[in-house]
Structure 1
Amino acid sequence: MKIISNISKCIIVIGCFLIWSCEDFVEVETPDYFLTTQNVYNNDESADRALRGMLNQLFNISFANGSYQSVSFLGGLSADNYDLYSNSQELISFYYNNIPVNNNNNLSLWSGAYNAIYQSNALLEGVRDNSDLSTALVNKIEGVSRFVRAFTYFHLLNLYDEVPLILTTDYQSNALASETDRQEIYNQIILDLETASELLSDSYADNDRTVPNTYACYALLARVHLFLENYQAAEDYSSLVIQASDQYTLLSDFDMVFLADSEEAIWQISPIGWGTSFTHTRDGNALIKTPTVSTPLALSRNFLESYDPTDLRLENWVDYIIQNEDTLFYPYKYKIQYENSGEITEYSMVMRFAEQYLIRAEARTMLSKFAQAIEDINTIRERSGISPISNTEDSHNQDLILQLVINERRKELFSEWGHRWFDLVRFEMLEELSEKNNSEFSTPRSLLFPIPDSERERNPNLNQNPGY
């Protein structure tokens, strides 16, 4: 566990060159407090603080912070796991899959992602050909920065499709960058992750899972190759993570899964980015309902009915509150809605071990390794206290097993990083989306978020997605 008094680790970025006050990407002036790389990268101590600052700052940028403008929240709202209880047009448009090009939440999501990419690029430039730093630290900074950049581009691609591929901090050329071919971006993602996997450690220092390691790279490579339908590579990489039993385990106590330094965590983000103000996650703050706080989302009846009544996930990760005689169910993976003092006990979960079994199950299904796919599905089901799938003649039906994987992904990964939205899009599950209370759903427009209009006004080389 990390104590809030250790806040100095996150302050470095605020006074350093990594952040500018506005998250806008396309038109960026040189920050007034930009420091030269010589100031930051002339010794190991300051360079390591800059890296830690970047990781902590992920908790504050909209793209990654778990709040109303994040991938987790807006991706979940766009899918079919939630009902919306809000009059905010900014949120209603995501729920109805009819996002206007001037939606401010969409702009914050986009610009927050490019903020993370800028920070990664700045760190990479700072350590390039740097003889003042130790080789071990240079490797660590390059590996983590490449990982964060790859992670961010993966989400941009699957939210917006083709986007500008920015690999430098040259704001003048970046401001007029046009979108890059989808495969070229995926190639860069894979290159970054393969390079990072060789630079980073296999383990976590002091079990601190906020710093990505080699297995985090493997886990994201497994996901990337799954989305690219490179099923053998997806199986191979997920197997590398699953075999790391000294690092990861599926926890039988569901209350422990989302704690700081959880043994199920592959990568987490610490709320230390709040500064000295609070010690809770934004995920918990945005999703948990209390008698005095009515958050805008509740779990949909369709989602709740997807569970077996004896499923331990339903018992442990879903709670309810009665408001105005209505029973509203909400995600309860995070147990703390608000806390302004004391030790940080929950971290924001970004990637976790259970997903790797589901990635491998899907890859094995598509490789016609049906018995092995069923074993992976059953690993998740048995942890959840529900009956395993029998290896019968029917269970050798590829379409049937694939649907079982999709269903388990929905129940296991709900409220986390837009997983359900990405599954609906990549499998073109239009019927599920049309069954939502959203008569405005249409395709292809609704399967991509729009490029923010204000960004296109600044950069005439950005094309809009179809239908907008």
Structure 2
Amino acid sequence: MKKVIAVSVRLILLLLYVLMISACSELLDVAPPNGSIVGDQPFKNIATAKESIMGICKTMGSTPNPVCGGSILIALYSGEAVQLGTNSDQQEFASGFISPTNGTLGTVFWMAPYKIISQINFCIEGINNSKGIAAADKSQLTAECRFFRALVYFHMMNVFGAVPYITSTDYQVMQAQGRDNPDKVMDSIIADLQYAKMELPVQYPIGYKVIANKYAAMALLARCYLQQQKWRLAEQECKGVINSGMYQLEPLDSVFVINSKESIFQVLPQNMSNYSMETMLIYPTNSLYPRIALSDSLIRQFDTGDQRKSHWVKTVMIDQDTFYCPYKLKKGFRSAVDTFPIELTAVLRLSEMFLILAECRLQQGDLAGAAANLNMVRRRAGLSAVGVETGVISADKMKSLIERERQFEFFTECGINWYDLVRSGKVDVVMAQIKKDWDSRRRLWPIPKIDLEANKNLTQNPGY
């Protein structure tokens, strides 16, 4: 009976979510068509199809999920951040052991992404079955959707390993599909991104960087190839983005503002007057104090003179205690008068392309090239450049410098540092020092219990 109820509830939620596809017209000045979009109307023509895709943007920015907001929970898990509140689900993330019954795990990292994926798949099917959309437009709109799908699955794969890679809109298929192994999932992600790279335009489809262009697909491809250690392919994608001339490093306080020149892809908040999802999780509007702070170990490791510590970290006093909170996104952060510009969650940034390129060049024996790209990010942070002219910097030292730069450039961002720790092979050594009774199997998180009960074809990760 419990299984039937779970399946029914999820089907109802998915149906409701798909029907809730709506335009962000007020936010993005996209004029809605006359009347409501219901039934077969979302894909009647290109205008209504675009509104349906904007609905994906709205969904991604309106509720915590692995792409938007989930990074704060990953930071708790990795030891990058500490919990100041008393939420029991978050306490499990902070402890380094998440139970399969953890409600936040199931909602944020499983239910929410599969709702988004369902919405994406319905859009792809509707667009391609439409008789009112030209073939060329179908290709671009499909590419926009496939980028979103690849992005969501990239994050799911990194926390769960094997996951069902669903492309069907058939509910029976969706509810019964088993887990696909990580290699197959990554191949599917890359296939989506290669299609997106081919079909997306150079210019952003709307006035904001919340719908992907060609370079967003290339940037995410670079991240995928980096994880696969395909250095040459990752280098090619990074160089394509960097050499496009469309992006440049911004001053530290401007990195996360809307349409920042550094941002390659951003997530739209529920509406433009809202704060980012990350800020709301760190500093809820009904709270006098932050719920999340950076760990003392992270704060102690900042280099002297690193301007990121003064620009991206906020000191907060609670009683007589001092805490250091993430302050990359400033709007809404305990401001008596909020005069900060609109900020969006940054999913892909130019600084990441420089650091991926540095790592790729190092792995291919080009220490000078690695240093040149590393120094682009170091100089922006107020740090001195490193060089190889004297021969004193070895490949191992350069590797350590790149890893360190990524740690302080991307703290609390998109799970990047946790994914780096896992792919580095150092995860067990590091986590055993900061999490009690660490078990190496915990590098992957448990599949939520309710989903295991609802789908007999799902299997649990070892150790849970």
> 1:431 aligned to 419, 429, 432, which one?
429
Deviations 1:198-239 (A, max 9, x none): 111111246411111000000000000000111110111111
The residue aligned with 1:31 is 15
Aligned pairs for 1:36-51 (under 5 A) are: 38-51=40-53
**What's 2:462 paired with?**
466
> Distance in 1 between the 2:7 and 2:379 partners?
46
Distance 1:457 1:364 in 2: 47
In structure 1, what is the Cα distance between the partners aligned to 2:456 and 2:411? 37
Q: Distance in 2 between matches of 1:165 and 1:214?
A: 23
Q: Do the aligned partners of 1:238 and 1:357 also contact (CA within 8 Å) in 2?
A: yes
Matched, 1:321 2:323: no
Q: What is the match of residue 73 of structure 2? A: 74
Q: What SS is found at the alignment partner of 2:82?
A: strand
SS in 2 for 1:320: strand
State the identity as a percent: 28
Contact persistence 2:78–2:431 (CA under 8 A)? yes
Instruction: Give ranges in structure 1 of 5+ residues lacking alignment.
Output: 1-21
Q: Which amino acid aligns with 1:191?
A: A
Matches within 5 A, 1:103-252: 103-108=102-107, 109-205=109-205, 207-245=207-245, 247-251=246-250
The alignment partner of 1:286 has SS state of helix
Equivalent residue for 2:375, pick from 374, 378, 389:
378
Unaligned runs of 5+ in 2: 20-36
Question: Post-superposition shift, 1:461?
Answer: 0.8
Structure 2 CA distance for aligned equivalents of residues 105 and 180 of structure 1: 23
| Aligned-partner SS, 2:40 | helix
CA RMSD of the aligned region, Å?
A: 2.6
Asked whether the 8 Å contact 1:25–1:115 carries over to 2, the reply is no
Greater Cα shift, 298-307 or 100-109? 298-307
Q: Deviations over 1:265-285 (max 9, x none)?
A: 1111122x248xx42112122
Supply the distance in 1 between the matched residues of 2:339 and 2:457 (Cα, whole angstroms). Answer: 49
- Summarize the alignment of residues 253-292 of structure 1 with structure 2, pairs less than 5 Å apart: 253-271=251-269, 273-274=270-271, 278-288=273-283
Aligned equivalents of 2:9 and 2:408: distance in 1? 38
Give TM-score scaled by structure 2 length. Answer: 0.88
Q: Residue 366 of structure 1 is aligned with which of 345, 363, 366? A: 363
Map of 1:63 onto structure 2: 65
Cα pair distance change 1:427/1:85, threshold 3 Å: same
Deviation at 1:256, TM superposition (A): 1.1
- Following superposition, the deviation at residue 426 of structure 1 comes to 1.4
Corresponding position: 1:295 with 2:297 = no
Distance 1:170 1:65 in 2: 25
Return the match for 1:354 from 341, 351, 354: 351
Higher helix share: 2
- CA separation in 1, counterparts of 2:447 and 2:123? 27
* 1:379-421 deviation digits (Å, cap 9, x = unpaired): 1101111111121424232x32222111111100111111111
Deviation at 1:260, TM superposition (A): 0.7
Instruction: Tell me what 2:100 maps to.
Output: 101
Task: Go from structure 1 to structure 2 and tell me whether the alpha carbon gap of 1:175 and 1:342 turns closer, same or farther (over 3 Å shift).
Answer: farther
Shift in Å, 1:173: 1.2
Q: Distance in 1 between matches of 2:7 and 2:75?
A: 24
Task: Give the letter for the 1:257 counterpart.
Answer: V
Q: How many residue pairs end up in the alignment? A: 436
- Residue pair 2:368, 2:387 contacting (<8 A) in 1 also: no
Give the whole-Å Cα distance in 2 for the aligned partners of 1:157 and 1:189: 10
Matched residue SS, 2:348: strand
What whole-Å deviation, never above 9, does each CA across 1:433-455 have from its counterpart, x for those lacking one?
2222x2132112x2011000110
Higher RCO (C-alpha 8 Å, min separation 6): 1
